[in-house]
Structures are given as C-alpha cells and as structure tokens.
Structure 1
C-alpha cells in the first residue's frame, strides 16, 4: 500500500504499547449473541421529542471544515468518529495483468440502491496516485465486496497493512480465496455474505484547500451474491444478523460489534392522523388566496 498525504499525517495507534493496554481490558465476550430488546421508551407518543432533556445542558461547537489553521486530517478524525458505525467493504481485486491480487477493508463503503444493486466505495488519493484496490477496479472494472464477521476480525484487520505492491494480503492474513462466478477477483470464503461487483463509474474529488486530488469515489453494481446457507431465511431474502455478526468501524482504530437491536415500524400517516395525539399536531393548510 502506498503512502498518501493523509496517511502520513494520521497517527494510527493512539497507544504507546497497544498490547499492554489491551491486556488490561476484559476478554472478548464470545458468548454474546444477537438479540432483540424493547426501545428505550415503548410508550413514546408523537410530539414527545427526545426521551430526556440532557441535550439542553450542552452547547454545540461550530466548525468550519476549511477554517484558518484547520487541516484535512482534523476533518478526517472528526468525521470517522462522528459518522458511526460505518459498514466495512472488504474488497478483493486483481491487477490488470492478472499477476497480483489485493484484499483490504474500506469503511467508506455504502449500499445506495437495490434495483439495480449499487454500492459506492471511497478511496483516499487521486486517480494519478491511487491505492492498489482503486487502481485495480479502475483498470479491470470488477471486484468482490465481502462482509467482515467477528470470527475473522484479526485476519481482516491485518490486510490493512502497508505492504509493498506485489505482496499478497491473502497470504499475510491466512484467509481463503474462493472462486467467483461472474468476475475474476476471488471472494473471501470465510465471509457470510459476499457480492460480485462490476464498475459503473467514478468521480475524483479535489481538495478546496490545496486544489489537489484527494480521493476517488467508485460506483459499482452487484451482479452476483453469495450467502452462507445457515444465515439465509427460507425465502432467500433476509440474512440473520446472529449468524452474520458483522463488524463496523468507529473512530480511530476502534471497531464495533452488532450484538442487539430493536424494531420500530415505519408510521403510516393516514392511520396515525386518526389518533387524537396526532390530530392536534397536524395543522390544516390555509386556503390559498
């Protein structure tokens, strides 16, 4: 992996001796399984707002991302710690000559449409100085996007190592490549859910401060899915989070787990407006003059 402007400024490890700090923490709770809970306030009614007023006791700080003395790395740290949790696209690619493969995690990944299945991935660095994964996608027009589960978290994280071009992250991590059907790059066999994807378009971002290319957004279409059998429901349209056990990215070097959830139905206005507490909140439109 090459060094980019941002990469040279980010202090990745906040601990002088990470293993010493880690040893002071409780062990990973493997016994925790995904479960559903109630919402914080099941008796919440329309118009009630937040469940407490603690937010009123705190002021907000306004930040201009391009303010005097503010560096891009400051915005980077702020955004990755504020926009959380972020899905991780564990992306597998192959070079245009077919001689080298690449595997790495990217937390600037999102699902943006389902018909067709569209994904976007953000990469640091411009088109003239791309990361290996970005270069491979732009040149070969294909990749696989894999979901990282708890049971191979260390191996997946190890693929983020700044290895030189030509050194395979597959070998370093010990993860297992599995043949894809519609694209050349392998999918991660350990992954509960993988997507074979093809390139559709990309956009290069330019820093307003320096005028230099700072990132590339690649738009991809999913053309084939792979789901572990025990994670899929009978209808073939829902993946069980208790089996998927996905990891997400938080700020700094912190990852997040998905161990519980709650359900909230989407309100339907025509039904809700019949309730007395909602009627009083809905003001009739004034007749146009």
Structure 2
C-alpha cells in the first residue's frame, strides 16, 4: 500500500520521467466554457491534463495551456489513440495530428485508449508509439483499459513495458488483481472515473465516517483511498471549488478505513459496462 497521497510531488515512471500524482479529466470540457474550466484548474495547481482524440477537445486543452499563466513546459498533457487509428501507419498519423491539434512539439503522455482485441492491431499500435517516443514526438507512452493478458502480449512481443495503464478504478471496482500486475511489471496505475457514481458512493458510511474524522469531504476521502492504494486519480470537474477540493491533500486513512472502502467493491461494478475485451472506442 502506497502513501503517495501525503504530497503532490511528481511520481517517477519506469522510463525515468515523472508524472503528477493527480490529474484533471477533461471529458466533456469543450468550447469556451471548457477552456475556462481547464485554465482554472491550471491556476489552482493541476499539472496533468487528460484528454483523448475521442473526447473531441484536444484543441481546447492546448488552447487552455496557451492562455494559462503556467509555462507550457510545466504541464503534462496526456492524449489517447482511438480504435480507428490502430495499426502502425494510422497511429503515426494520429500522433502527428494530435501534436498539431494540441499545438505542441512533443506530447507528454500518449496512451492507447482501448486494446480493441478484435482488431488485433494493438501490438502494431504500441510499436508506433515506441517509435514516436524514440524519435522525440512523445515523452512517455502507456495504455488504457489493458488487461493482464493484453499487457503480457505487448511486453512479450516488443520488450517495452508501458509506463502507465489508465483503468476504471473506484471503490465499486477496486481492481486488486490488475493493480498487482501493474506493481509486478513496474507500471503506474491511473484511475479514470475515480469517484464512481457520485452520490451513490459518496454517501456511504464507509466514506462519510473517515471524512468526518479527517474534516474532509467524501470526495477527498475517496481520492485519498486511491493514493494510498498506489493509484493516481484523474477526477473531472469544471467547478473551481471542486477542483480545489480534489487537489487538496488529506490526512492518512487507517488500515480499517481503507479495507472498508475497498470492501465496497461489487460484481458488475463497472459504470457503463466498459469491457476491455469488447469495447470498441
């Protein structure tokens, strides 16, 4: 169990680079309102912005970085390869297009969004990311929603271990077995939808009791749970107050509190049934 939640110091990846311990999810943050929300987050201290080609807002993310007073070199922008761009040549084109849309020479973190095993091209896609990294187009590379079997195939066929695997992870889906695989391989775990179904989770006594003890919000407690698991949450919020709250460090949860929150895991805990074996995005 990790204690990374005690600070917001950047975390070292297996490629020697560093990544902020918490990021801002940007799904749905589009147009001028989206840009304003992202600029707000940067002003509050966020230094990792998570987008994707499939979100349709790479331009807004890049524009927010340009409008912010934070130097661009201090911000890590993560984006993702969608299903239609799997395959070596298509992935190289997608990387080039993302760089143009974001307005950057080098992308901070580039992930394969979903493995799409029915296409059977995620190894080629990974090889393209490795080449882009080696040629300086991308700083760090990783995957998203990859199972243990997908990871074993990637590493077995290329010898290159992803720096990050971003997976659905929240108290209703603690992903213990998947996290153990990441720890064994030296892959950093990122959590998408880290707060699960909002009120359904945040009103549980397993969350509200430690929140009261720590004088924290229920959301802060759940984010602290992620950090103590050794996972790096990427919560989404357009509200400056919630952005500030999500970024604030919180006191340590006890082992019993951690176990109680993890015990909220349940069969079929995925938010919308996103199965890495069948989801095509």
Give TM-score scaled by structure 1 length. Answer: 0.21
The answer to which structure has the higher strand fraction is 1
Give TM-score scaled by structure 2 length. Answer: 0.22
Q: Which has the larger radius of gyration?
A: 1
The answer to which structure has the higher helix fraction is 2
